[in-house]
Structure formats: C-alpha cells, structure tokens
Amino acid sequence: HVTSDQLLNENEYSLERSLRPQTLADYLGQGKIKKELAIYIEAARLREEALDHVLLYGPPGLGKTTMAMVIANEMDADIRTTSGPAIEKPGDLVALLNDLEPGGILFIDEIHRMPRIAEEMLYSAMEDFYVDIIIGQGDTAHPVHFPLPPFTLIGATTRAGSLSAPLRDRFGILAHMEYYHKDELKDIVLRSASVLQTDINTKGAYEIARRSRGTPRIANRLLKRVRDYAEVKGEGVVTEPIAALALDLLRVDHEGLDIVDQKFLSTLIKLYNGGPVGLNTLSANIGEEVDTIEDMVEPYLLQEGFIQRTSRGRMATAKAYEHLELAHLMTD
C-alpha cells in the first residue's frame, strides 16, 4: 500500500536525510527513551560489548529510523539497514548478519512484516549469535552451525502487538515512541529551518508544530510547503500568519487534522451516525487501506480524543462532532 510518506520524491528523501539529527543531544524529544538509552549505551561501551537488542515501536514518522542511526553513531558502530518485506529468504538475513563487523548493528524496519522462517532464524542469532542453516538438498541436505559476530539488532515497528512473543521477548530494550509535544516539535521545526536556511520566527514555527499531528516527519514536510508559500506569497519569512495561510491552503486544520482524518471523522458521523462501525467498512468508504488507518490515522485521533475504540467498532466523540461543526447531528 502507498502511504503519503511514500509519495515523497527523491529530492524530498535526500532533504529528509539531511534533516536527521546525528547524536542523542541533537535528537529532540522522547526524553524518557533517550535517558535510558544513554545509560545502556555508556554501559555497553564501558564493557566493550555490543548493545543489547532494541525494539523501537510507535506510529510512522516519529523518528525510529533516526534513532537507530543515532544509536549507531553513539556506539561508534557500523550499521546496515533493511526492512522486513525486503528479507525474502533466510539466506538474505544470514548474508546481512555475516557482513556485520563485531559490535555492528542491523536495523530492520517494519520488522513485523518479516517472513516467519527468517524470523525463526533470528531467535538463535539474537540469543547466542549463531544460525543453523541447511546446506544441500534432498539426501545430502545437512544442517551447518554458523557462528556470527556479536551484533545488535534494532527492530522498528508500528505495532509491537503484531510481533510474535518469542521475537519480542528477545529484545532487551523496548522503547515506545510517543507523539511529540508541540514545544518539542517547535524546536524541531526551528532546527530544520536552520538546516534548510529558511528564515522563520518562533511563532511561525509554533504554528507549524501545533498542526503537525505530533509527528516530526509531518512537521518537516509542512515546513517545506510553508517555506514555498512564504517565498512566493510573502517576504520569504515564515511567520505565524504566513504559516496559517499556507496550512489552510493544504487543508490542514487548526487541530492538525489532514484531509484523511477529516474524511474519517465526517464519514463516521454523517454515514454511520457516529458509530460504532467496523474498521473494514470505514476503510472501504474513505478509500484508505486498513493498515494505513490503523497505523497512521487512528492512533492520533484516539490520543486526541476524537474517537473511541469499542468492541463493536469505532465511535466519534462529542469533540469530533464539535470540531467538524456537526454538533446538530449528535443523538442522545
């Protein structure tokens, strides 16, 4: 499925890379995770051992990949990156692991989408740094015990719940990434603006921050669009009024809800009387994949109190009715 993030063009991808902080100190927000990781990293460095395996989980765009790069940098370790769906057969995984330097890091994005057979191979690799592989075919097939260099696996997933228990249990460090506070996002916007050499004031940065759904990737994307607007329609400076006008044009509302969020809520209210309604039905109605809704749309709407999840389906809250100015449609 294609998410709006995948629609970024190459140019935007390289910009995105340049916006990545390199050190824990530069990595803004996620204070609790950073504090813990700083200790584990220092301890591993003192013992001259590989860092324990790390599972980063939370919605897309919150900085999981960035955090993996930061950890590698802080550990002074070599890092290889791949993703669950890119690992097609166990051999792919063995090749990656075998290629690591001792103490190196393998980053697997979307680790919940890794094939089962590769996942099972990870168990012994993570626990005791070896894999058993089958060499040959038919009668000559025999297992070979294959030692690996000590390494750190960093897994990223949008859903810790879709990971099998044996895999989840093999991560020594579990880090739950949370949506960012507006002030943290404001600082991220200011930092990105300085990387992009864009003129911005604090209020302009805050206006972008508060409409970014708690997500740095969205904040950076909106900053770029607002910058374009400021250059064409303004004096090139990102101020609060310029940011507000540009974001209105993008149909990002004052709560930061985008067109998909708005469609989700208005469908729930207008077509289904506010619910409860099942996810598949909603997905068909608004033309978005179930996965996209579960990973990207719902978590934020839930956190901000626009919807409730019940055993019978999703329900709109009074806040959602009021936000869409549909309070007159509220029953009981």
Closest by CA to 110, choosing from 137, 87, 93, 78, is 87
Rounded to 5°, angle at Cα 26 from 97 and 207:
120
65 among the known binding-site residues? yes
- Cβ nearer to ligand ADP, comparing 24 with 269: 24
Residue 184 or 234: which CB sits closer to ligand ADP?
Answer: 184
Using only C-alpha atoms, what is the Rg of the chain?
22
Residues with active-site annotation = 64-65, 109, 158, 217
Nearer to ligand ADP, 63 or 103 (CB): 63
Q: Is 210 labeled as ligand-binding?
A: no
Q: Which is nearer to ligand ADP, 175 or 257 (CB)?
A: 175
The two structure tokens encoding residue 85: 């769906």
Tell the smallest beta-carbon distance from residue 195 to ligand ADP (Å): 9
Taking the complex as a whole, how short is the minimal distance between the CB of residue 177 and ligand ADP, in angstroms? 7
Residue nearest to ligand ADP (CB): 63
Q: For residues 61 and 234, which CB has a smaller minimum distance to ligand ADP in the complex? A: 61
116 belongs to an annotated ligand binding site: no
Q: Which positions touch ligand ADP (CB under 6 A)?
A: 16, 19-21, 27-29, 60-66, 156, 188, 216-217, 220
Q: Is 287 left (phi over 0), alpha (psi -120 to 50) or beta?
A: left
Work out how close the CB of 60 gets to ligand ADP at its nearest, in angstroms, rounded to a whole number.
4
CA-based end-to-end distance of the chain: 38
The answer to whether 275 is a known ligand-binding residue is no
Task: Judge whether 42 is annotated as a binding position.
Answer: no
CB of 247 to ligand ADP, least distance (A): 18
Maximum separation of any 2 CA atoms in the chain, in Å: 76
String of b and e for 270-299 (b: at least 16 CB within 10 Å)? eebebbbbeeebbbeebebeeebbbbbbbb
> What is the smallest separation between the CB atom of 59 and ligand ADP, expressed in angstroms?
8
Q: Is 211 annotated as a binding residue?
A: no
* Numbered residues of the known binding site: 19-20, 61, 64-66, 127-129, 170, 180, 217, 309, 314
* Numbered residues of the known binding site for Mg(2+): 65
